[in-house]
């Protein structure tokens, strides 16, 4: 089922499956901001990544001596969420564990996602509640895809309100979806601007760690800002499918990431993983601003 809210500037549509954004329209010119999930390139628009971001090594994790298997980015994106509430400017959805998820991931949880429109901003807020008697381990991330031509648009990287001159991303092993040990690539920007191309993504996503940037802005060839993603997260990805010249790019705020090659597969020792005590809540958010 679809749910829609709008204000003077934006119109948002979210579906129950995956609590996924399917449309964000700039009303001044009726421009669709979000990628429309053409399976020729990629059949999703903005999935939530939970309870993992990326891949486990060999798609397996070990917890309390038991091995669990899960596919890339976890199960939440393919599940039906419960629609909780709608206000004039917000939509809220909820997901809880099932017998099927417990076979893949050994924790009970409540995941609440709230989308809020505030003038030209869309805030995406996540709340993870640990409903177990003990500690819970998880990752969470966003994967919004934005309509654009790689030849026409660029991305400006900023940190603390200032353009950054360079950043480093990890190299991904294309066969496993995991990170190559000790291998990275350096990217130089022009006053913060990174030019997009198929070559930029020939090694899959740019996996950027260590809070190197907190604001990424998509800029057109005339220098005008189209949209920005404010992502005060420990790391993020930038991605478009390799060698397809797809008409979109993803800016992905992450609280977690894929394993490295050679990792011991212990769930509680995953790099950038989140630890949540029994009965406690984890809150995180990012903001899409449309200009």
Contact (Cβ atoms closer than 8 angstroms) between residue 291 and residue 226: yes
How many secondary structure helices (H) and strands (E) does the chain include?
1, 26
pLDDT tens-digit series, residues 3-30: 999 999 999 999 999 999 999 999 999 9
pTM of the full structure? 0.97
What CATH code is carried by the domain that includes residue 173? 2.70.98.10
- Stated length of the chain: 291
Give 254's pLDDT tier (boundaries 50, 70, 90): very high
Structure tokens at 128: 């993870």
pLDDT tens-digit series, residues 133-149: 999 999 999 999 999 99
Phi-psi region of 245 (alpha: psi -120 to 50; beta: other; left: phi over 0): left
What is the tally of structural domains in the chain? 1
- For 197-234, letters b (16+ CB in 10 Å) and e give eeebbebbbbbbbeebbbbbbbbeeeeeebbbbbbebb
pLDDT mean over 86-102 = 98
pLDDT tens-digit series, residues 30-79: 999 999 999 999 999 999 999 999 999 999 999 999 999 999 999 999 99
Compute the mean pLDDT over every residue in the chain, rounded to the nearest whole number: 97
pLDDT mean over 215-239 = 97
Contact (Cβ atoms closer than 8 angstroms) between residue 119 and residue 7: yes
Q: What is the pLDDT of residue 70?
A: 96
Give 90's pLDDT tier (boundaries 50, 70, 90): very high
| Structural domain harbouring 94 | 2-290
Give 206's pLDDT tier (boundaries 50, 70, 90): very high
């Amino acid at each position: 089922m679809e749910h829609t809210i709008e204000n003077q500037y934006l119109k948002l549509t979210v579906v129950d499956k995956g609590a996924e954004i399917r449309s964000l329209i700039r009303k001044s010119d009726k421009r669709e901001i979000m990628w429309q999930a053409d399976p020729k390139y990629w059949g999703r628009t903005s999935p939530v990544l939970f309870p993992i971001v990326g891949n486990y090594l060999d798609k397996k994790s070990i917890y309390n001596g038991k091995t669990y298997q899960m596919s890339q980015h976890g199960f939440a994106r393919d599940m039906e969420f419960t629609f909780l509430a709608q206000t004039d400017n917000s939509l809220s959805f909820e997901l809880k564990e099932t017998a099927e998820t417990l076979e893949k991931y050994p924790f009970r949880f409540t995941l609440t996602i709230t989308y809020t429109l505030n003038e030209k901003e869309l805030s995406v807020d996540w709340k993870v509640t640990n409903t177990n008697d003990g500690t819970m381990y998880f990752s969470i991330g966003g994967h919004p895809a934005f309509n654009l031509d790689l030849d026409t648009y660029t991305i400006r990287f900023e940190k603390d309100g200032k353009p950054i001159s360079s950043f480093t991303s990890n190299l991904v092993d294309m066969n496993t979806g995991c990170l190559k040990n000790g291998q990275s690539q350096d990217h130089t920007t022009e006053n913060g601007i990174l030019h997009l191309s198929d070559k930029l993504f020939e090694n899959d996503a740019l996996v950027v760690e260590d809070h190197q940037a907190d604001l990424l802005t998509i800029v057109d060839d005339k220098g005008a800002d189209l949209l920005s993603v404010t992502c005060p997260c420990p790391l993020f990805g930038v991605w478009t499918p390799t060698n397809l010249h797809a008409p979109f790019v993803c800016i992905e705020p992450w609280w977690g990431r894929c394993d490295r090659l050679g990792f011991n597969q212990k769930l509680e020792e995953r790099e950038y993983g989140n630890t949540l005590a029994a009965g406690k809540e984890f809150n995180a958010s990012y903001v899409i601003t449309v200009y």
